[in-house]
Amino acid sequence: MSNNIESLQTENRVFAPSAEFSAKAHVKSLEEYDALHKRSVEDPDAWWSEQAENLFWQKKWDTVLDWSDAPFAKWFDGGKINASENCLDRHVRDGKGDQVAIHWVGEPGDKRDITFSELLADTCRFANALKARGIKEGDRVLIYMPMVPEAAVAMLACARIGAVHSVVFGGFSATSIKDRLEDSEATAVITADGGWRRGGVVPLKANVDEALDAYEGVETVFVLKRCDNEVTMTEGRDVWWHDEVDGVSDDCPAEGFDAEHPLFILYTSGSTGKPKGILHTTGGYLTGTASTFKYIFDYKADDVYWCTADVGWITGHSYIVYGPMANGATQVMYEGAPNFPDWDRFWQIVQDYKVSIFYTAPTAIRAFIKAGDHHVEKYDLSSLRVLGTVGEPINPEAWMWYRDKIGGGRCPIVDTWWQTETGCIMISPLPGATPTKPGTATRPFLGIDAAILDESGNECGPNEGGKLVIRKPWPSMLRTIYKDPARFKETYWGEYEGIYLAGDGARTDDDGNFWIVGRLDDVLNVSGHRLGTAEVESALVSHAAVAESAVVGRPHDVKGQAVVAFVTLKEGVEPTDELSKELRNHVGTEIGAIAKPDEVVFAPRLPKTRSGKIMRRLLKDIVAGSELKGDTTTLEDHEVVAQLQEQFQKVFKG
């Protein structure tokens, strides 16, 4: 039989954009999208050149794309550009200096509004402070910060002087910091005494100190005072942020760097082995993030935008710092957890700041569903006009709740597919043009040639599962894995000649919409059938009793793999043997008997990172009865693993 991934799920609900929304949108109809997309993939140089023209270049490029040394691309080669200038100076020059850039909300309730002029001055002062400490073009600087405006200032200050930033998510451990310091050979660290999280202080400076006990290459540690927790300052190395910028000039001219000058390294941690340092450069990355932000969120000058991600992830880089700021957007930044002090925190902020574009993760949406609608219903969310999702495929029932409860049935949802490696969104609806279906990211963005291929490299037909690929280079693509070009070629370009392999299984439906069915390494092999975990999880969550699920395979003598479903129930629903049987049959009805879980494990909670991603590899270890492998330091709640091991043993032995 075929090695292709099978896709058995169907979804027939379709929601067209309202005529009123479409009339004002950047792209107004599916016909307009189709014509633009055709033109953009037939002549990508012309399309991406048009997008790059929306940025400020100190010197225009000589060539749009040099692909002669594929897969090592050069975009806008010969051009000179400064990312910080594009995010700050040009808006101030255009008379937007008094416009709020960031409405910031701290977890304890403190607030600041920062204008573009103020953000520019803060960035210039800090850039001068970096230079005063000997940090120069090409140096690597590790940033380990809470969600405060200074995190964006640190990134933009590095970009301003040509230093390469490497942001580490504030939930990572000292070991993770050390690994990233060693690989990047960073000479400076920017951190804070601590950050607030669910009423407690995350000891950021202490984690940096522990990492620096094992790495000696750092000459300066800048420490922002945020929580006033006690910290140890090492003389000659550690300096307070406020001391370093006190009395420093806010004039720091933005030097133009080559379009291919490295902007940042962002590490993705695999389940085992060395973290991969994904390297992005300046001109192409900025072109991709700025254009996708404008079109996919249908951004207008009077919008208030809020992406709930952390700057430590690619979503925070692309859709908190560079994409929105290159467009001169006013945005909300929030420091803390979505459920502190209660589950209504997000909706209070949406109401307070009249947020019009809201971008969050499916795992957060499912958590809100589990917490109950009453947290939402007391707030006025009528300012919202576009909703977005990011991070993983969203199951149709969560999509419907998001549309109805948060969007009031009137807001288009842009379900976005992309990766750290792609730099910007690759597949997504355009909210004024694309008819949406719950659970699909719909169509490729303009200029993106996405396809689904079988093992032999042939394009799959509708409803045939295969491997998601991008067939032509795009500006914001990763340039390499830092210091490991061989791994870069093998990982992303080794399967099909000159074609980027995303690592996700997918299918298209009869309308040409792309459905992501799970990571290729999460595919279940059941009795010769290859099933995507995302579809089974989606079927489970469509049951009225289920808030969230995670599906993994365990070794099985007869079938190859047995399907194990970890299920979190909605508030007030009791786990019973009868419900377990009902859920198995429900999956059989929704997808087919082949996908019915062999075991259903009721889990009060699932193992998640602090950013909300389910750590499925831990669940795989649990069901295989093996030791937990890989880094578990980002696990939000360490007790949950022991509970799940106990629960699985009960179910399995039963």
pLDDT digits (tens, 9 = 90+) for 522-558: 777 776 666 778 778 988 999 999 999 999 988 877 7
The Cα–Cα gap between 152 and 116 comes to 12
Residue at a domain's end among 228, 255, 282: 255
650 contacts: CB under 8 Å, gap ≥ 6? none
pLDDT recorded at residue 529: 67
Pairing type for strands 304-307 and 330-334 reads: parallel
- Whether 544 is in a domain gets the answer yes
**Best CA proximity match to 82, nearest among 257, 253, 324, 321:** 257
Global confidence as pTM: 0.87
The Cα–Cα gap between 140 and 261 comes to 13
Residues 177-191: pLDDT tens digits?
Answer: 998 999 999 999 999
pLDDT recorded at residue 3: 57
**Best CA proximity match to 419, nearest among 339, 350, 299, 519:** 519
Phi, psi (deg, nearest 5) at residue 497? -60, 120
Residues 198-219: pLDDT tens digits?
Answer: 999 999 999 999 999 999 999 9
Q: Is residue 490 over pLDDT 90?
A: yes
Q: What is the mean pLDDT of residues 253-259?
A: 97
Distances in Å between the alpha carbon of 584 and those of 540, 567, 595, 623? 8, 11, 9, 18
Q: Is residue 271 over pLDDT 50?
A: no
Please provide the average confidence, as pLDDT, over all residues in the chain: 92
- Residue bearing the bigger pLDDT, 155 or 619: 155
- Whether 6 is in a domain gets the answer no
- Whether 456 is in a domain gets the answer no
Distances in Å between the alpha carbon of 547 and those of 251, 310, 600, 635? 52, 24, 14, 20
Please tell me what DSSP assigns to residue 313.
S
Beta bridge partners of 468: 452
**Best CA proximity match to 126, nearest among 168, 159, 100, 93:** 159
- Whether 535 is in a domain gets the answer yes
Domain that includes residue 222, residue range: 83-99+113-255
The Cα–Cα gap between 614 and 640 comes to 12
pLDDT recorded at residue 9: 64
CA 182 to chain centre: 24
Q: What is the mean pLDDT of residues 234-259?
A: 98
Residues 413-470: pLDDT tens digits?
Answer: 999 999 999 999 999 999 999 999 999 999 999 999 999 999 899 999 999 989 999 9
Residue at a domain's end among 238, 255, 272: 255
- Whether 597 is in a domain gets the answer yes
pLDDT recorded at residue 630: 61
Helices 174-184 and 204-212: crossing angle in degrees, nearest 10, is 50
Q: Is residue 593 over pLDDT 90?
A: no
- Residues of the chain with pLDDT > 70: what percent? 95
Residues 60-77: pLDDT tens digits?
Answer: 999 999 999 999 999 999
Give me the number of domains the chain comprises.
2
- Whether 506 is in a domain gets the answer no
CB burial of residue 90 (10 Å; 0-12, 13-18, 19+): middle
CATH of the domain at 237: 3.40.50.980
- Residue bearing the bigger pLDDT, 606 or 556: 606
Please give the full DSSP string across 2-39, using - where no structure is assigned: --SPB--------BPPPHHHHHHSSS--HHHHHHHHHH
Q: What is the mean pLDDT of residues 378-382?
A: 98
Please tell me what DSSP assigns to residue 417.
B
pLDDT recorded at residue 525: 74
Q: Is residue 591 over pLDDT 90?
A: no
Q: Is residue 46 over pLDDT 90?
A: yes
Q: At 398, which amino acid appears?
A: A
Residue at a domain's end among 232, 255, 278: 255
Q: Is residue 651 over pLDDT 90?
A: no
- Whether 133 is in a domain gets the answer yes
**Best CA proximity match to 206, nearest among 184, 216, 191:** 191
The Cα–Cα gap between 633 and 400 comes to 34
The Cα–Cα gap between 227 and 246 comes to 20
pLDDT recorded at residue 1: 33
* Phi-psi sector, 109: left (phi>0), alpha (psi -120 to 50), beta: left
CA 215 to chain centre: 29
Phi, psi (deg, nearest 5) at residue 300? -125, 160
Q: Is residue 47 over pLDDT 70?
A: yes
Residues 298-356: pLDDT tens digits?
Answer: 999 999 999 999 999 999 999 999 999 999 999 999 999 999 999 999 999 999 999 99
- Whether 644 is in a domain gets the answer yes
At CA 305, angle to CA 302 and CA 308, rounded to 5?
Answer: 175
Under 8 Å between Cβ of 525 and 561: yes
pLDDT recorded at residue 629: 65
CATH of the domain at 591: 3.30.300.30
